[in-house]
Structure 1
Amino acid sequence: MILYPAIDLKDGQCVRLLHGEMDKATVFGNDPAAQAAKFQAAGCDWLHLVDLNGAFAGAPVNAAAVEAILSRVTVPCQLGGGIRDMATIEGWLSKGLSRVILGTVAVENPALVREAAAAFPGKVAVGIDARNGRVATKGWAEETDILVTDLAQSFEDAGVAAIIYTDILRDGAMQGPNIKATEALARAVTIPVIASGGVASLADLTALRDTGVIAGAISGRALYDGAIDLAEALKALAA
């Protein structure tokens, strides 16, 4: 199972939100590229980046910070937030991003997901963010009646590289991931599923791994707070 350290960007800074609320942001650093370099030095295989402002604006906002990260590290990076048209997808991939994450647009314009996945094999993921099993969009500000599993299964034949599943009520709360829901989703689709939201300890990571069906996990606050030592976690997951 791959562990993805998260760098969430708000106003050019590294932050973590609580339950996805922008007014509940904790700033962890003013130099995202330096933080990315630290994660790489600890041995991570991937980085997970989120343009939080972009998720609300519907277009990239923290582009300068993302570009600084891409110029600083050599590990592959995936990015979500404000990526809602082909021009933005092409732009990011041309700048060295390894994978774009399409969230809101996966609900509002699923044809774009299919088009992008066909044009850029292995480089397009779908981000599914949910409260109580139902999908939320636009930076989690708008809730829909769409069930997580239904949305995920609709992309089974699209060539999507991964699904990043976030339980919003767990995100940033350090209360553990929703292992049951994430495992159920992973068993319902053939697309690799990456868990996000609530990972608070090494035990959480090993529990996700031990399901045998979850392909990856994203952790942010626990790494910044020191609840998880990245190098130790990577060593444990490798074993």
Structure 2
Amino acid sequence: MIIYPTLELLDGKCVSLARGRLDDPVLWHVDPVETARGFAAAGAEWMHLTDINWLRGDGGNDDLVLEIIRAAGIPVQLGGGFRSRDAVTRWIDLGAGRIVLGTMALQDPGAVEELAKYHPDQIVVAVDVLQGHLMTSGWHTRSVFTAEDFIRAFDGVPLAGLIVTDIDADIEDSDGSLGVISGLAAQTRQQVIARGTVRSLDDVARLRYIPNIAGTLIGRALMAKDVDLSEAVRTAQTPIGKVAEFQ
């Protein structure tokens, strides 16, 4: 299982979103570029980067994002409200290892399929779930589609994976209800990356036992030092022992 240490950028600073609210970020007093370098030094194979300004549609942190991509020393999975094929292609050309698409995947799944075929294993689809329904536009708009219907639309598409967020668990700051994520992971052949479930090292260990969970994003828990990245990476890479079979 791959650990994706996560940075969220807002106005050039590292933040976390409190209960998903774009207008109420938690500010972390760290240098984004040095933090990204630290991820690689701690043994991470990938990192995840979200530009909140792009997500809000009020500009972006293009220069800083590019600096992080070039300085991180590991591939960067990049998200933040991509709205066009040209933007996706541009950032892949600039060195992003993967691009994460959410609202665009719902509004124009054909374009996402074409991008995935042209850039195999470089396109990730975000599946944000609230009470069984897909949420878009930064968790603000409820879709008529269920998460199950949505992920089925991408069966056979050469995606790098699906990032699945159980918004109920994330906004309640619970100990990580894995029911939604594990249920969706069982219904797709795509690799699933869990988001919003890790608040301790024990959560990393639990995720390893869920079939088809290929990775997890960890952001706020790293920034708050509730999880040590080196320990999380070691835990994720530890072989799974025998699991008892229950009748």
TM-score (ref. length: structure 2)? 0.92
Question: In the superposition, relative to structure 1, how do residues 60 and 161 fare at CA in structure 2: closer, same or farther (>3 Å)?
Answer: farther
Equivalent residue letter for 2:36: A
Q: Aligned residue for 2:38? A: 38
Larger radius of gyration: 2
Q: Aligned residue for 1:204? A: 203
Shift in Å at residue 94 of structure 1?
0.7
Pairing 1:72-111 to 2, within 5 Å after superposition: 72-111=71-110
Shift in Å at residue 7 of structure 1?
0.4
Asked if 2 retains the 8 angstrom alpha-carbon contact of 1:51 and 1:81, the reply is: yes
Asked if 2 retains the 8 angstrom alpha-carbon contact of 1:52 and 1:139, the reply is: no
Structure 2 counterpart SS, 1:78: strand
Equivalent residue letter for 1:147: T
Structure 2 counterpart SS, 1:211: coil
Q: Aligned residue for 2:52? A: 52
Matched, 1:114 2:98: no
Q: Aligned residue for 1:170? A: 169
Structure 2 counterpart SS, 1:234: helix
Equivalent residue letter for 1:198: T
Equivalent residue letter for 1:26: V
Pairing 1:18-33 to 2, within 5 Å after superposition: 18-29=18-29, 31-33=31-33
- Percent of residue pairs identical: 35
Q: Aligned residue for 1:13? A: 13
Q: Aligned residue for 2:2? A: 2
Equivalent residue letter for 1:206: A
Structure 1 segments of 4+ aligned residues over 2 angstroms from their partners: 168-178
CA displacement, residues 40-74 of structure 1 (integer Å, 9 cap, x when unaligned): 111101101111121221x8612222111012112
Shift in Å at residue 186 of structure 1?
0.8
Question: In the superposition, relative to structure 1, how do residues 184 and 125 fare at CA in structure 2: closer, same or farther (>3 Å)?
Answer: same
In 1, the alpha carbon distance for the partners of 2:136 and 2:91 equals 21
Asked if 2 retains the 8 angstrom alpha-carbon contact of 1:18 and 1:173, the reply is: no
Shift in Å at residue 188 of structure 1?
0.1
Equivalent residue letter for 1:205: V
In 2, the alpha carbon distance for the partners of 1:154 and 1:28 equals 38
Q: Aligned residue for 2:139? A: 140
Asked if 1 retains the 8 angstrom alpha-carbon contact of 2:186 and 2:211, the reply is: no
Equivalent residue letter for 2:182: E
Shift in Å at residue 84 of structure 1?
1.6
Structure 2 counterpart SS, 1:19: helix
The two structures, once aligned, show a CA RMSD in angstroms of 1.5
Asked if 2 retains the 8 angstrom alpha-carbon contact of 1:101 and 1:124, the reply is: yes
In 1, the alpha carbon distance for the partners of 2:81 and 2:15 equals 17
Pairing 1:211-222 to 2, within 5 Å after superposition: 211-222=210-221
Shift in Å at residue 24 of structure 1?
2.0
Asked if 1 retains the 8 angstrom alpha-carbon contact of 2:125 and 2:162, the reply is: yes
Structure 1 counterpart SS, 2:138: coil
Q: Aligned residue for 1:125? A: 124
Asked if 1 retains the 8 angstrom alpha-carbon contact of 2:46 and 2:74, the reply is: yes
In 2, the alpha carbon distance for the partners of 1:155 and 1:186 equals 13
Asked if 2 retains the 8 angstrom alpha-carbon contact of 1:60 and 1:82, the reply is: no
Shift in Å at residue 172 of structure 1?
6.5
Structure 2 counterpart SS, 1:188: coil
CA displacement, residues 17-51 of structure 1 (integer Å, 9 cap, x when unaligned): 12210122111135211111111111101101111
In 2, the alpha carbon distance for the partners of 1:238 and 1:198 equals 18
Q: Aligned residue for 1:235? A: 234
Shift in Å at residue 178 of structure 1?
3.0
